[in-house]
Structure formats: structure tokens, C-alpha cells
Amino acid sequence: MDLFDLTGKVAIITGSSRGIGRAIAEAYADAGAKVVISSRKQQACEEVANAVNATHGEERAIAIAASISDKAMLQTLVSETRRRFGKIDILVCNAASNPYYGPMAGITDEQFRKIFDNNVLANHWLINMVVPEMIERENGAIVIVSSIGGLIGSDVIGAYNVSKAADFQLVRNLAIEFGRHNVRVNAIAPGVIRTDFAKALWEDPEAEAALNRVTPLGRIGEPDEIAGAAVFLASKAGAYVTGQGIVVDGGTTIRGGL
């Protein structure tokens, strides 16, 4: 028995046209799953889906664009996935936003609401859209990509960190609600990963060097180094894991943060 085999599973991964989301989608497809590539732009999604299918020589991926800020689009994402693949076994809530950098005293109400709407409320929406069929089958895996920001303080991305801390609690609450139905809910907390989303933290060589100095492994992470944890949490290997936040940060948090 391959503990990490996802053959026959169907997974939706938000924010999967690039970065961490794309790496997770590719890893799921490599493990045998059918994957739904979703982000705001259909063309970007199709490019990734085509690349995945070309790698495997069959339709292993489809592209369905959806903005996480639009509840109706998320419902279409779920409905269209069911129409084309028949079911949803795995949901990865990876997409997030952070429109503000600076002290929290300077953030506008609109910016604060956008952070919470996209990083917490959208996850709540999607989970409630997919979980009924998981409960009916008594089998399902939900993964929220949070951040080590939810475990530490910051004078630059404070509101974002608050939203990511909320994701940890969302995972804990839902793990209790859904556990009796064998539906597992977990979070992954990446450190600084070389993605466009985190570019402000690493694109300057001096900034990256500073990050490397405070990271026990001596470097920032790569997107595919988050994918392994996502495969673990979705597969038989993680069958007895729920309500947890798995930190994947090269050891940064054990030094007291950034």
C-alpha cells in the first residue's frame, strides 16, 4: 500500500496558477489525483492544466477560474468540478491576499475587510460548499494554507497575520465539527517561500541574506517544499491527523520569528 497514493481522488486547489498552489496541484497529479486549477484568470489556469496533462499524457487537470472574493464564482467552481469530475475529495484553500504593508494604525477599513474576506471568509464559504458530500461519503480532506505569520507578530503585515491566525482556529473548530464523519481539516504554515506573493520579502539580495541568517536551514523555501506536506495531509499517510497546523519554515519560528 502506497501511503501517499491519491489515485481516484479529485482535488480543488485555489490560487494554483502559480507558486505554492501550482506546486501542490502538480504534486497531487503526480500522486494520481485529478486536479482543478483555479485562480482569477482563466488563461493562466489553462496554461497550468495543459502543462499537467502534457506531463501525464491524459486529462489529469482542468482549469476553472474563480475569484475567492466572489461567492457565486466559488459556487460555480464547485458545481463545475462535480459536473466534470463527479465529486470532490480534497479541497486546498491556498489563495489569499494582502493589500497593505505597514503598521496597523494605517490600514483602512476596506483593506482590513478585504484581507479577512479573502483569507478567512472565502475559506469558510468553500469548505461549506464541498463538505456535505464528504460527510455523506464519510471521507474527505481539507487543507488551508495559512502562514507562520499566524504564529508571530509583525509591524508590517499585522492584519494579514491576524487573518492567518484566524485560519488556524477555523481549522480547529471544523476538525471538531467534521471529525465524526471522517473529514479531516488541517493547515500548513509556510515560512518565507520564493513566490511572487512573498517577493517583497526576498527580491532584494540583502533582504534575502537577512532571511537566510535567521533561518536554521540557511535559505528560504521553494514552492515544491510545501507540496509534500499537502500530499501527506490529503493521503492515507495523514489519516489520523486533523485540527493541526504543520509548520514548514526551515526552522524560522524556533528562532523567534523573522
For the entire predicted model, the pTM comes to 0.94
* Over residues 142-170, mean pLDDT: 95
Q: Is the pLDDT of residue 118 over 70?
A: yes
Q: What is the structure's pLDDT at 148?
A: 94
Give helix 42-56 / helix 19-30 axis angle, nearest 10°: 30
Q: Is the pLDDT of residue 258 over 60?
A: no
Give the dihedral of Cα atoms 199, 203, 209, 215; nearest 10 deg: 10
Mean per-residue pLDDT of the chain? 94
User: Please, what are the domains in the chain?
Assistant: 10-255 (3.40.50.720)
Reported confidence tier of residue 194, pLDDT bands at 50, 70, 90: confident
Report the share of the chain in percent with pLDDT over 90: 85
Q: Which three cell numbers stand for residue 4?
A: 501517499
pLDDT tens-digit series, residues 50-64: 999 999 999 999 999
Q: Is the pLDDT of residue 257 over 50?
A: no
* Over residues 20-36, mean pLDDT: 98
**86 forms bridges with which residues in the sheet?**
none
pLDDT tens-digit series, residues 69-85: 999 999 999 999 999 99
Residue 100 bears catalytic tag: no
Give the active site residue among 28, 100, 160, 240. 160
